[in-house]
Structure 1
Amino acid sequence: MPSSTQPLDMSRSRVFGGVAEIYDAARAGYPDALVSTVLHYAALEGDRPVLEAGAGTGKATVPFAAALTAPLTCVEPDARMAEVLRRNTTPHPHVTITVSPFEDFRPGDTRYGLFLCATAWHWFDPDRRWNLVHDALTPGGAVALFWNPMGVRDPDLHAALAEVDRRHGLTNTPHAALASAYGDTPGHWPGMLGHWPAVDCAHDPRFTDLRSLRFREDTHYDTAHYLDHLSSVSLYAALPAHRRAQALADTADVVTAHGGRLPVTRCHDLFLARRRT
């Protein structure tokens, strides 16, 4: 996951399909508390439909689909990611999948009661995304944007990983930050400061009832799981094969030398807003 919403090399957004199965197996999901908080805030009426953009393989789609009875439309630009998403949502017939960039998606006459985006908002055109969301929502409809960055809890391990990143010219890797660098405020993590969606939305009179929340968990990766996680990250997936293999091998050596465990604190940061009525 990129560590900020700063302008990105958009070609990196097209590498995920090549690692779709690894992405699905290795990427973290989202806690039940986040799902229930979003749905409580949205207060969907009847079968008011829900729209998810950048659904990927369904790391957020599946828990939301399980909690919803309303139709859920998922927009995913990569056909290979969408294939895994389709498999993962087979138990949920109310889920519909459209293979398309979000910017090209046309809702027609449908207006949604909730817009979801999990760790993908930064891939959308910053000049158009708020307009697209506004136009897709019914008056009073809710917006839920969320990410799940992590910080390394062991300073010595973090320093050793930083040296690997330096040798390979890698920046903003998933282990680039210490857990202690995260503040207590949602959206307060290295790289995100100044880019949290509330910054833009606060100046957009079309939206109201802005809220930011954080759900924290302490967890860990073993060496193999962490290498899979890195392999699913666009920064690594976009590297030439020989450079990627060496960077992953050197990272594995560091984690293994520290007991084969990477202890992390994960912050599930959530932004909520509502289209004005």
Structure 2
Amino acid sequence: MTSSQPLDMTLSRVFGEVAETYHAARPGYPDALIAEVLSYASLTGPAGLPAVEVGAGTGKATLPFAALGTPMLCLEPDPRMADVLRRNAAAFPDVRVEVASFEDWRPDGTRFGLLLAATSWHWTDPATRWPRVHDALAPGGAVALFWNPMSVVDPALHAALAEVDRRHGLTLSPHAGLVSSYGDTPGHWPGMLGHWPDEECRRDGRFTDLRSLRIPERARYDTDRYLGHLSSISLYRALPDDLRDHVLADTAAVLDAHGGGIDIEHLHDLFLARRA
């Protein structure tokens, strides 16, 4: 993949197969990140305008923004994910859900004060995404793109899991990197190197006040929760059922042999920019 090529878009539709598991097992985003986005958006941004979320999924990022009173339009291309999102956001009347990809959606003259994408920006089309962001935002509106990759704390557990991945021909699994192997800057992790949005945004030339920051967070997953997390990821969803079962069984055996779980560090990496 190069910076001008999107990922295989067919993989972006596999999450709906396990929408409930996705919501239960996927990590969320810390309060500090939500506060950082809202603070940045309010600095010089237009007051009172709603936010639009690209690839909202089941609402892992939607809900904390909505809980703080942010009116939101959520774009989600998979109707199964959208159904779960509607149920999860039922308590927030200012959250609307539209089944649409970012590429198919038309703002029809509506302008937003904030556009956000939580672990979904890499599924959008590089050829059109920044013009679409520009068209969706009011002057001064903010864009917030963020991810939460995980890195493994224990070197011995990392080595054992790497052997499982090697045996089954997997690359870039969530546990592919040790904490010590990650760089100190946002976007410096396997799968993102060379694809951090800063360069693309600067080339567009219509955005200002570009910022990148990282918020680390330690967490522990027990074996069942971690297997649920893996089951919700496109790398594992794309495997034939029998192979996926073998991979998950081998992974579970390793985790159970190392204390029944995995200690990880989430690297909540955030990119911010503003329509000039």
Q: How does 1:6-85 map to 2 (within 5 A)?
A: 7-43=6-42, 44-69=45-70, 71-85=71-85
Contact 1:216/1:268 (<8 A) preserved: yes
Determine the C-alpha separation between the residues in 2 that align with 1:108 and 1:9.
Answer: 28
Determine the C-alpha separation between the residues in 1 that align with 2:122 and 2:4.
Answer: 5
Determine the C-alpha separation between the residues in 2 that align with 1:128 and 1:74.
Answer: 19
Show CA shifts across 1:18-67 (max 9, x none). Answer: 01000000000000111111011001544211100100000000001111
Determine the C-alpha separation between the residues in 2 that align with 1:115 and 1:7.
Answer: 19
Give 1:190 deviation, angstroms: 2.1
SS of residue matched to 1:176: coil
Q: How does 1:125-274 map to 2 (within 5 A)?
A: 125-274=125-274
Determine the C-alpha separation between the residues in 2 that align with 1:140 and 1:7.
Answer: 27
Contact 2:46/2:139 (<8 A) preserved: no
Q: TM-score normalised to the size of structure 2?
A: 0.96
Determine the C-alpha separation between the residues in 1 that align with 2:237 and 2:108.
Answer: 35
SS of residue matched to 1:202: helix
SS of residue matched to 2:203: coil
Query: Mean alpha-carbon deviation: is it higher for 207-216 or for 45-54?
Result: 45-54
Determine the C-alpha separation between the residues in 1 that align with 2:138 and 2:72.
Answer: 15
Give 1:229 deviation, angstroms: 0.3
SS of residue matched to 1:28: coil
Q: How does 1:86-101 map to 2 (within 5 A)?
A: 86-101=86-101
Query: Mean alpha-carbon deviation: is it higher for 60-69 or for 80-89?
Result: 60-69
Determine the C-alpha separation between the residues in 2 that align with 1:5 and 1:36.
Answer: 31
Give 1:7 deviation, angstroms: 4.1
Aligned length: 273
SS of residue matched to 2:194: coil
Give 1:196 deviation, angstroms: 0.4
Determine the C-alpha separation between the residues in 2 that align with 1:62 and 1:130.
Answer: 25
Determine the C-alpha separation between the residues in 1 that align with 2:177 and 2:116.
Answer: 27
Show CA shifts across 1:213-269 (max 9, x none). Answer: 111011111111100000000111111110100000000001111111211111100
Which amino acid in the other structure matches residue 20 of structure 1?
A: A
Contact 1:116/1:143 (<8 A) preserved: yes
Which amino acid in the other structure matches residue 57 of structure 1?
A: T
Show CA shifts across 1:71-95 (max 9, x none). Answer: 3100000000000100111111000
Which amino acid in the other structure matches residue 58 of structure 1?
A: G
Determine the C-alpha separation between the residues in 1 that align with 2:227 and 2:5.
Answer: 25
Contact 2:46/2:141 (<8 A) preserved: no
Give 1:204 deviation, angstroms: 2.1
CA-atom RMSD in angstroms: 1.5
Show CA shifts across 1:2-26 (max 9, x none). Answer: xx99742221111110010000000
Determine the C-alpha separation between the residues in 1 that align with 2:204 and 2:10.
Answer: 29
Contact 2:5/2:126 (<8 A) preserved: no
Determine the C-alpha separation between the residues in 1 that align with 2:158 and 2:114.
Answer: 38
Contact 1:177/1:190 (<8 A) preserved: yes
Determine the C-alpha separation between the residues in 1 that align with 2:183 and 2:172.
Answer: 18
Contact 2:12/2:234 (<8 A) preserved: yes
Which amino acid in the other structure matches residue 27 of structure 1?
A: R
SS of residue matched to 1:255: helix
Determine the C-alpha separation between the residues in 2 that align with 1:203 and 1:127.
Answer: 12
Determine the C-alpha separation between the residues in 1 that align with 2:73 and 2:95.
Answer: 6
SS of residue matched to 2:103: helix
Unaligned segments of structure 2, at least 5 residues: none
Of all paired residues, the percent bearing the same amino acid is: 66
Give 1:201 deviation, angstroms: 1.3
Distance 1:5 1:233, change over 3 A: farther
Contact 2:52/2:114 (<8 A) preserved: yes
